[in-house]
Amino acid sequence: MILVVRPVHSAIAGFLTVTLGCLIGVQMNGGWLLDEPAPATAVAPAAPHVSSPAAGVALAAGTLAAAPVAAANESYYVQLRKKIRWVETRLGAAVLKTPDESSRLLLAKSAAEHARLADVGLTFRDVYGIINAETSWIPRRGASKDGTPNLGIAQFEPATARALGLADPNDPVESVHVAALHMKEAALWSAQRLSGLKLSGPDRAEKLREGVSIYYNLSTRGRNAWNGRNTLQLPRETQRHIENARTGAQEAAWLDAQVQAAKYSSGRALAVAANSIQVNSR
């Protein structure tokens, strides 16, 4: 069953619409183009699943070893938690808490920067997209088909959390940052799977992101069935994960464009006001 999340909180003010007209055509890393705003609500996959990573992914670029990250970053996480604002949202009949749009962008950007996702061709939009595919940014408990619990905003299985050094899967701040590290490993794995294919730049970037969803969503056996061309033969849940990650990345680009437009409008208004004060004081 597909769950449609309908936020209770208000959308960003409509006065930005005209200002944003020139920003709708934002080109995302990987060739995704926005020709219309992403929907305000996201579709979460049924029973999201994160499989335990292998001990290491042997790649030409090296092996990403899972290492504890909580202790080294706890002070930073404490400060970041203070900046997160929570709002109510509906999930079926339940009313739950979710970070507001600004907080989502803050988390996604921080996680992408700390994981250095740019090194593997990903951005904060991809972090936003993966969390969108997992939970639509609503921290909660899920379960895999075999009953294994999926925890928190990034839906980590307990074994995966331990392997990645995630101390508290129910902490959204820590979980999003560790999810970004997991995505970096996934991107390296995906690039290796695509290395023998003749693809254009945009096609390769899109396929790379497909691989990130596949790595995040499937077991080792399931993900290794992917050859870069047989995505439509994968489980429907995985295909939905790819679609929702793409939708979330588009939403992140749209929200970020709104934030930038608001900053521009505010800065311009302040400049006009300052100029008016100078003129009137003469």
Domains of the chain by residue range: 3-281
**pLDDT surpassing 70 at residue 112:** yes
Please state, as a whole number, how many other Cβ atoms lie within 10 Å of the Cβ of residue 95: 10
**pLDDT surpassing 70 at residue 119:** yes
Average model confidence (pLDDT) across the chain: 78
For 202-258, write each residue's pLDDT tens digit.
999 999 999 999 999 999 999 999 999 999 999 999 999 999 999 999 999 999 999
Q: Which residue has the higher pLDDT, 149 or 19?
A: 149
pLDDT value at residue 106: 97
**Residue 282 banded pLDDT, cuts 50, 70, 90:** low
- Phi and psi at residue 146, to the nearest 5°: -90, 5
pLDDT value at residue 264: 78
pTM to 2 decimals? 0.73
Q: Which residue has the higher pLDDT, 80 or 56?
A: 80
Report the percentage of the chain scoring pLDDT > 90: 60
